[in-house]
Amino acid sequence: MSAVSGVREAFWDDPVKRAIALFIAMFVLIAITGVLQGGASILLISTQATAFALIALGLNIQWGYGGLFNFAVMGFLMAGGASTVFLSYPVNPAFWDSDGPMLLARALAAFLVGLGIVMLARRVDRIGIRGGVRTTLIVLAWLAAYILYRSQIDPAAAYIESTAGFVGGLGLNPLIGWAFGGLIAGLIALFIGRVSLGLRTDYLAIATIGMSEILRALIKNMDWLTRGTMTVSPVPWPMPLPQNLQQTGMSIPDSFLYARGGFLAIALLVLIVIFVMVQRAYGSPWGRMMRAIRDNHIAAGSMGKNVTGRQLELFIFGSILMGIGGAMLVSFSQIFDPSGYQPINHTFMIWVMVIVGGAGNNFGVVLGAFLIYFVWVLSDPLAQLIFLNLSQVTSSLGWGAIPEIDSRALQMRVFVLGVVITLALRYAPKGLLPEVIRRER
């Protein structure tokens, strides 16, 4: 008896065997879902899970490699999504033929002038103005810049919204849109990181979540750029849509299988390429330095490592992956709806993926992403099943049926997510596949 448990323990302690076993379990789960829900549905869930795996890898770079508490995941996903819409959506001639581009150019000029004023005000200590006077000047400069920008952008926004609706896109290939999404997310990360990376843990968490809410408010309300709550659709795919395949004479179920399968293939390709890069970076001297900074930033700093600079690097790299993943999600669902982004679905769920999978272990994080996304998606039909059965019991007892089963069952996902993260923190705080630190003997 004890021998058996001893063998089992040895099996679980070996990271490679453990990873293989858990990945097999994951594929079995996917296969069972596929059999139950049909091929088109499993391809849909798998593609989204792949995008989330990419995003979770991004968070793993930040939290697992660097110990940076980023609660702004949602903001980066939105930025990536909005960028890919801007690049890949068909050109809107109504906008380009109107005075819109001119007005926008003036707004941009006003923005740059405002930026210049603020920059100049920050440098007044060069001509001997210091202390309170300098602070007052900077505040006044900010105010002047804000008023200048608002005076140009407000009429431009109103004009574009009334004549052309919104600026439309550039009509480029969505794959370029994904890269652009990563680029924009990286730029935003550069700004957020420069501003907030001096803060530690709790403060950083609150600062980043605040900034992601600011970003959300901006994207949601800049109707001239993103159409805001009116949503943009259909966002084009990088490959033929099911509808295109149907036009060539393919049957409807087959067209969905092939189109989604093609999208999944591209998404997986992107994931694998980035995974290999991230995994190699982890094993390199660069990764070792990052772990040193994470585990003891003071010691690393005294060894001559530029702690803030390196952390900014991590923050940007991770955010680029989040931007690409967010762009992928928007491309796939073909609709960009800023009000559809919630901290629960787009920040906390990613965190659960990373914690449950195992922060610092890329294999674990990918496993966690797929596992949690499947649990998230499957909670809904399972809860519906439970509620329907319960409802039968209660109505047979004469208490009446449970009302609004559909909308309630949907909320079960949130509860299950909470239970999963709580159990993980309690019983497997290092995740399913803990970080493996290789030591030379």
Partner 1 sequence: VDELVFFINRVLISGTVLGCIYALGAIGVTLIFGILRFAHFAHGDMMTMGAFLAFVLAGAATALGIVTPLPTGFVVLPIAMVLAAGIALYLDKGFYAPLRRRGAKPVTLLIASIGVTLMLQGLIRLIFGSGTTSFFQTEPKEIFRIDVSALGATRPISITEPQVLMFIVTAILVLALHYFLTRSRLGKAMRAMADNADLAQVSGINTALVVRVTWLIAGALACVAGTMLALDVALMPDLAFNIVLPIFAAAIVGGLGHVYGAILGGFLIAFAETLAVFNWTALLRPMAGVLPEGWALPPNLALVPTEYKLTVAFVILVITLLARPTGIFKGASS
Based on CB atoms, which residue is closest to partner 1, 304 or 403?
Answer: 403
* 426 near partner 1 (CB under 8 A): yes
Report the interhelical angle of 252-283 vs 285-295 (nearest 10°).
80
Q: How far apart are alpha carbons 223 and 226 in whole angstroms?
A: 5
Which string of x and - marks every residue 355-394 that binds partner 1 (by CB under 8 A)?
Answer: x---------------------------------------
Binding residue for partner 1, selected from 200, 243, 253, 269, defined by CB under 8 A: 200
Residue closer to partner 1, measured from CB, 132 or 285:
132
Smallest separation (angstroms) from partner 1 to the CB of 93: 29
Which span sits near partner 1 by CB under 8 A: 19-27, 44-52, 99-107, 422-430?
422-430
Residue with tokens 């302690």: 13
Please, what is the minimum distance in Å from the beta carbon of residue 266 to partner 1?
32
Phi, psi at 70, each rounded to 5°: -100, 110
Pair 435, 361: CB distance under 8 Å:
yes
In this complex, which beta carbon is closest to partner 1, that of residue 228 or of residue 325?
Answer: 228
- CB 135 to partner 1: min, Å: 9
- Contact with partner 1 (CB under 8 A) among 272, 390, 425, 436: 425
Six token digits for residue 415 = 């509860």
Q: Which one of residues 417, 431, 432, 435 is an interface residue with partner 1 (CB under 8 A)?
A: 417
Touching partner 1, residues 47-106 (CB under 8 A):
69
Comparing CB distances to partner 1, the nearer of 226 and 255 is: 226
> What's the CA gap between 50 and 367, in Å, rounded?
10
439 binds partner 1 (CB under 8 A): no
Report how far residue 331's alpha carbon sits from residue 234's, in angstroms, rounded to the nearest whole number: 9
Minimum CB separation from partner 1 for residue 187, in Å?
Answer: 18
Residue type, 160: I
Q: In whole angstroms, how far apart are CA 362 and each of 52, 61, 205?
A: 13, 9, 22
Identify any residues that bridge with 391 across adjacent strands, giving them in sequence order: none
Number of other residues whose CB lies within 10 A of the CB of residue 36: 11
What kind and span of H or E run contains 255?
helix 252-283
Amino acid at 428: A
Does the footprint of partner 1 cover residue 259 (CB under 8 A)? no
Closest CA to 53 of 363, 360, 313: 363
User: Does residue 421 interact with partner 1 by CB under 8 A?
Assistant: yes
Binding flags for partner 1, 207-246, as an x/- string (CB under 8 A): x-xxx-xx--x--xx-------------------------
DSSP secondary structure letter of residue 90? P
Please count the residues of this chain forming the interface with partner 1, following the rule CB under 8 A: 43
3-class secondary-structure state, position 237: coil
**CA–CA distance, 155 with 174 (Å, rounded to integer):** 31
Nearer to partner 1, 215 or 245 (CB): 215
Among 132, 396, 407, 437, binds partner 1 (CB under 8 A): 407
Among 183, 307, 412, 428, binds partner 1 (CB under 8 A): 412
* Interaction of residue 278 with partner 1, rule CB under 8 A: no
For residue 244, the SS3 value is helix
Q: Does residue 326 contact residue 72 with C-beta atoms inside 8 Å?
A: no
Of 65, 149, 336, 351, the one binding partner 1 (CB under 8 A) is 351
- With H, G, I as helix, E, B as strand and everything else as coil, classify residue 336: strand
- Judged by the rule CB under 8 A, the positions of this chain that interact with partner 1 are 69, 195-196, 199-203, 205-207, 209-211, 213-214, 217, 220-221, 343-344, 348, 351-352, 355, 403-404, 407-408, 411-419, 421-422, 425-426, 429
